[in-house]
């Protein structure tokens, strides 16, 4: 499920509605669907997501967090190099011992790779269209072919690189937001682990409140650690959006969702 020649925006209504989940992938991860001011992203659940209408975090790791420890698919330039040809959409990545974990086909889809020139001056960033399964050359699963967009602008040989999977490929349950994760979507429905679904990222939305509020002049909402929203308190918590209704009555939580 790869798109080489599209801009990632769905035209028309999706075959998989926003109130459906699917064990079979129907669109590339990260695909955008918009209707009447609302936006959704096509996502994959890495855990069971319940209940509905909460902020769901991405559970991707920092590229430099050793994959052999975390069993994640990220990779850092301290142990990864890339080789490719001018004008090509293909890169061959070689992993050192910290990053030689098995990577399934297209697990890096919609991710980001940053290529660092040997002189440390030029840095190229590409979207990852997809990847083949990893394979062994010297170490177990130490090599992989990935496909990128835009094409390469020069020949590169064994250039250090960082890579991170799509934030929409590893979406967790709202109650796993905690203090170290960022919310990326609001789930419309309860989602089974491993299934694909549409997560809302912006536009009018009802989101589960941690508690209602009617504090004067407090319109901003921020994410709580359990995926609910609460009144913004002037600290550096992640913004959810702003209240839509006049909130003398503090019992509900219709907001203008602003995740992107």
The model's pLDDT over 61-109, given as tens digits with 9 standing for 90+, comes to 999 998 877 779 999 999 999 999 999 999 999 999 999 999 999 999 9
The last residue of a domain, from among 164, 197, 222 = 164
Nearest to 131 by CA among 120, 141, 139, 116: 141
Q: Is 22 a domain residue?
A: no
Sign of dihedral through CA atoms 98, 104, 108, 114? positive
The model's pLDDT over 6-59, given as tens digits with 9 standing for 90+, comes to 688 888 899 999 999 999 999 999 999 999 999 999 999 999 999 889 999 999
d(CA 99, CA 41): 28
Read off the pLDDT band of 1 (50, 70, 90): low
Residue found under tokens 């509905």:
52
Domain identity same for 182 and 208: yes
Q: How many domains does the chain have?
A: 2
Domain identity same for 221 and 184: yes
Q: Is 5 a domain residue?
A: no
> What's the burial of 9, exposed, middle or buried (CB within 10 Å: 0-12/13-18/19+)?
exposed
């Amino acid at each position: 499920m790869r798109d080489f020649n599209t801009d990632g925006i769905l035209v028309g209504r999706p075959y998989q509605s926003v109130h459906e989940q699917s064990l079979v992938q129907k669109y590339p991860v990260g695909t955008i669907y918009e209707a009447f001011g609302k936006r959704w992203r096509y996502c994959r659940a890495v855990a069971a997501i319940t209940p509905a209408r909460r902020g769901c975090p991405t559970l991707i790791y920092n590229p430099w967090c050793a994959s052999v420890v975390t069993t994640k698919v990220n990779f850092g330039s301290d142990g990864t190099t890339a080789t490719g040809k001018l004008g090509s959409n293909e890169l061959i990545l070689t992993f050192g011992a910290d990053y030689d974990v098995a990577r399934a086909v297209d697990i890096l889809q919609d991710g980001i790779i940053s290529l660092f020139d040997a002189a440390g001056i030029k840095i190229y960033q590409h979207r990852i269209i997809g990847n083949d399964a990893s394979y062994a050359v010297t170490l177990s699963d130490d090599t992989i072919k990935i496909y990128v967009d835009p094409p390469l602008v020069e020949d590169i040989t064994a250039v250090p690189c960082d890579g991170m999977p799509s934030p929409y490929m590893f979406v967790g349950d709202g109650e796993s937001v905690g203090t170290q994760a960022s919310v990326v979507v609001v789930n419309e429905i309860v989602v089974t682990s491993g299934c694909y679904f549409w997560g809302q990222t912006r536009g009018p939305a009802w989101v589960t409140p941690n508690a209602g509020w009617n504090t004067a002049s407090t319109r901003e909402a921020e994410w709580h650690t359990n995926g609910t929203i609460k009144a913004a308190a002037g600290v550096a918590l992640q913004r959810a959006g702003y209240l839509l209704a006049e909130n003398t009555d503090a019992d509900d939580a219709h907001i203008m969702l602003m995740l992107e």
